[in-house]
Amino acid sequence: MLTPDATLSKPWIKAKDVHGRIAYFLTYAVALLGIAGSVVRCWTAWKGVERVGDLCLVMQDDFNVLDTQYTWTREVDMSGFGNGEFEMTTASSNNSFVDDGKLYIVPTLTSDVIGYNNVLDGYMYNITGCTNSNLTACGAVSNATSGTVIPPVMSARLTTKNSHHITYGKVEIRAKLPEGDWLWPALWMLPVDDAYGPWPMSGEIDIMESRGNGVDYKAQGRDVVRGSLNWGPFTWLNGVAKTYGWFSTRRSTYSSGFHTFTLEWSPNFLRIFVDTRLHKTLDISFNEPFFERGNFPPYVANGSQTIQTPNPWEDAVDGESPGSTWRKTSKGGNGKNSAPFNKPFYLIMNVAVGGTNGWFPDGIGGKPWLDGSHVAMSSFARAQDQWYKTWPQDPKDRALVVDSVKMWQAC
């Protein structure tokens, strides 16, 4: 015969608690339901990501050699490229070369070639092999009285303008970014021709832009990469503020290793990311015309007159490439909505230095020049001892290093 104490010590002989069993099974049922719901949610999200579709490879370069005959053109120029940049770009192997299956785009000091004093005063320099038809972009004279200097940095800018371009498709570039204050690496695209008018009317696609400054730089240093689109009816009325974004790496920088920068582009959408689609810098749908997206003022000043803001893409037509199978879908645009990004674009890779367009904001990070100053480049050149010490002495460490480039056309 069991004692009361013995009964209490053997709960399994008691009557079963129905409510407890219900709670037990209910807890596990809800957990399994949550897991199933998560799986469905992930699957539908993956399924809902728009794809570029069928692609045909049109260019692949693994840089066993630097092919300047059929693939790359070195732009040789001292114009500042519309940004007031402080470098000249050259065809010299000091500034762009291939080694061990990688392309190096390297900024170097002009003073190493002509001497520091000549950069600042009393010297005329004409760049060899200038590719700019405007001869004023091919030479400079330094004059301490007027504050003009020879561009204090030499670098390189390589393009596929004369060889490869795409209208809708994909670009994939595996690269390591440079290290050093005021370096401005960029992987980007421009239209083959100004079908809708001069920049930014015909558009610009920035796959990757960054700054070589350190991670403590308050305007985003080399731990951040940005993707953006430039477009608008005037240089001073640019819709880029509505179409840009960035991604930052954690506990590292984009100059400490290689990353893959990707553009996916169709008449329906444009997506830019680094390494994985989860690391998006830009993802936009072409679900409305860009002129409407810009929400530009209806009237603007044009000299002494006030005019109606022009729509450069009003008469745009579908820019489908020959043989393309793209069609209008319910999720995106129809080719015309993507104007000006419905025409052939070619690839550019370069390392710029400084500039006066605001990419390096005034008053941040000990910036040694003011954008609005007429002696901005002179101020930068005279601060050479300050910024050059932040550049690695090994040219390969301060280079934009490109391991491979691939371009696909929609087919």
Positions marked active-site: 204, 209
Amino acid 277 reads R
Q: What is the C-alpha separation between 53 and 55, in angstroms, rounded?
A: 6
**Three-state DSSP state, 170:** strand
- Cβ-Cβ contacts under 8 Å for 382 (sequence gap 6 or more): 120, 368
Q: What is the C-alpha separation between 270 and 207, in angstroms, rounded?
A: 11
Of residues 168, 197, 201, the one with CA closest to residue 345: 168
Cβ atoms of 152 and 86 within 8 Å: the answer is: yes
DSSP 64-86: SS--TTTT-EE--B-S-TTTT-S
Cβ atoms of 274 and 225 within 8 Å: the answer is: yes
Structure tokens at 234: 């005037």
Of residues 125, 122, 181, 180, the one with CA closest to residue 151: 125
Q: Which element (helix H / strand E) includes 226?
A: strand 224-230
Cβ atoms of 72 and 96 within 8 Å: the answer is: no
Alpha carbon distances (Å) from 164 to 75, 324, 347:
15, 17, 8
Amino acid 280 reads K
Q: What is the C-alpha separation between 378 and 370, in angstroms, rounded?
A: 11
